[in-house]
């Protein structure tokens, strides 16, 4: 299988996440120390202003770092690549390259892979997604939480992003993206047969792709031309 990943984008966002998190913690600690010092100078309004600004900016940076870490530090690109390893060279996994975050071009079609990282039971019934029994870890009590949300709607938006990308860069392509929800956590237990978008565990992904019949897809020549035009190439 070929893998095409925007590694610069990944590295850049991981760096931003690290510095935002560290900067937020430093500012929060600094604001706490200034606050303790301000107790000895109750009439110094300027110290109070510094404390408020420090807590506000520090909290904001910490949350930005948390969101970026949830998005990038878990490296879904590597998790999906490992899960699909063993497919032949007719399959190409594009990470952060084709408008949608993760796109698999296969002989059976073009798949938009939407990874989710929730653990425990995942259910879809009566039009609603639920993750009963999910508990926030201690680190999520005061920071951003990675909630289940609506994976089907999110995957649909990713498919729309790919359609827009292809319309702009490969308008002659007559292929309909197929969104797939992929749960990455090893302890995720799925009860999602009624989902409007297929949902499966990452361990099932490769076999699912292999079982699909041939269908309209993006030709290899068109992909090569697109990669050349946009200036990227397969990593492996």
| Rg value, the chain, Cα | 22
Let me know: does 121 contact 133? Beta carbons within 8 Å.
yes
CB 10 within 8 A of CB 77: yes
Task: Give the pLDDT band of residue 236 (cuts 50, 70, 90).
Answer: very low
Mean pLDDT over each residue of the chain, to the nearest integer? 92
pLDDT band at 215 (very low <50, low <70, confident <90, very high): very high
Give CA separation, 201 vs 120, 181, 195, 207, in Å: 12, 8, 14, 11
Residues 6+ apart with CB under 8 A from 211: none
Please write the tens of the pLDDT for every residue from 91-126.
999 999 999 999 999 999 999 999 999 999 999 999
**What global pTM score does this model have?**
0.88
The alpha carbon torsion through 177, 181, 186, 191 (nearest 10 deg) reads -140
**Pairwise CA distance, residues 117 & 85, whole Å:** 20
127 exposure class (CB count in 10 Å sphere: 0-12, 13-18, 19+): exposed
């Amino acid at each position: 299988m070929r893998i095409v990943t925007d590694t610069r984008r990944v590295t850049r966002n991981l760096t931003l996440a690290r510095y935002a998190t560290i900067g937020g913690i430093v500012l929060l600690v600094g604001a706490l120390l200034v606050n303790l010092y301000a107790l000895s100078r109750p009439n110094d309004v300027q110290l109070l202003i510094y404390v408020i600004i420090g807590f506000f900016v520090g909290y904001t940076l910490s949350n930005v770092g948390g969101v970026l870490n949830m998005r990038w530090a878990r490296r879904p690109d590597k998790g999906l690549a490992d899960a699909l390893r063993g497919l032949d060279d007719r399959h190409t996994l594009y990470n952060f390259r084709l408008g949608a975050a993760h796109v698999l071009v296969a002989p059976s079609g073009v798949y938009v892979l939407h990874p989710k990282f929730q653990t425990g039971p995942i259910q879809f019934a009566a039009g609603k997604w639920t993750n009963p029994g999910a508990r926030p870890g201690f680190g999520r009590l005061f920071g951003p939480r990675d909630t289940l949300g609506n994976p089907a709607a999110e995957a649909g938006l990713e498919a729309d992003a790919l359609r827009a990308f292809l319309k702009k860069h490969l308008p002659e392509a007559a292929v309909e993206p197929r969104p797939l929800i992929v749960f990455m956590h090893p302890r995720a237990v799925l009860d999602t047969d009624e989902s409007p978008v297929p949902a499966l565990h990452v361990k099932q992904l490769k076999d699912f792709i292999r079982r699909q019949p041939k269908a309209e897809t993006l030709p290899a020549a068109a992909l090569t031309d697109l990669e050349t035009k946009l200036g990227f190439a397969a990593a492996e």
